[in-house]
Amino acid sequence: MRACFGRRYMISASHRLHTDALSAQQNQATYGKCNNPHGHGHNYVVEVLVGGCVDPETGMVINMVELDNVVRSRVIERFDHANLNLDPLFVNRVPTTENLCRAVFALLKDALPAGELERVRVEETENNFFECEGD
């Protein structure tokens, strides 16, 4: 029987929304406070949803400890307490939460020990979040 297992993780990171494709004035108009030259930070919540058949022996779609290990090594250690703008993934890409969400999906997609990655949700604050289903 197919079900989904979900797990929430926290990442604290800084970023600055800015693109060299726009003028200083356009950056300010587009990104507002998020364009502050010195950056700012968030406690991001990363929610990972894994779908698959429930293993009759374990009752699990995926073993949470194994999922935690993958998310920790591929996502949390990479982004937690880091400046997202300095990550190679964001050298030519603005570290909006949309792009962070896509990056997390890509980092996890082929690394899961069981099941398939159904959805990644990244909450930037309590009031805004972004979801990616890989398309």
Partner 1 sequence: MIYLTRRATFSASHYYWNPAWSAEKNEQVFGRCANRNGHGHNYTLEVTVAGEPDPVTGFVVDLKWLKDIIEREVLSAWDHRHLNLETPEFATAMPTTENIAIAAWKRLEPAVTAASGARLSRVRVYETPEIFAEYRGES
Question: Would you tell me which residues interact with partner 1 (CB under 8 A)?
Answer: 1-9, 49, 54, 57-61, 63-65
Look up 53 and say whether it is catalytic.
no
Least distance CB 134 / partner 1 (angstroms): 18
Q: Which of 34, 98, 116, 131 is catalytic?
A: 34
Look up 47 and say whether it is catalytic.
no
Q: In the complex with partner 1, which residue's Cβ is closer, 95 or 115?
A: 115
Least distance CB 28 / partner 1 (angstroms): 37
Least distance CB 72 / partner 1 (angstroms): 14
HEC-encoded secondary structure of the chain: CEEEEEEEEEEEEEECCCCCCCCHHHHHHHHHHHHCCCCEEEEEEEEEEEEEECCCCCCCCCCHHHHHHHHHHHHHHHHCCEEHHHCHHHCCCCCCHHHHHHHHHHHHHCCCCCCEEEEEEEEEECCEEEEECCC
Look up 42 and say whether it is catalytic.
no
Catalytic site positions: 34, 81, 124
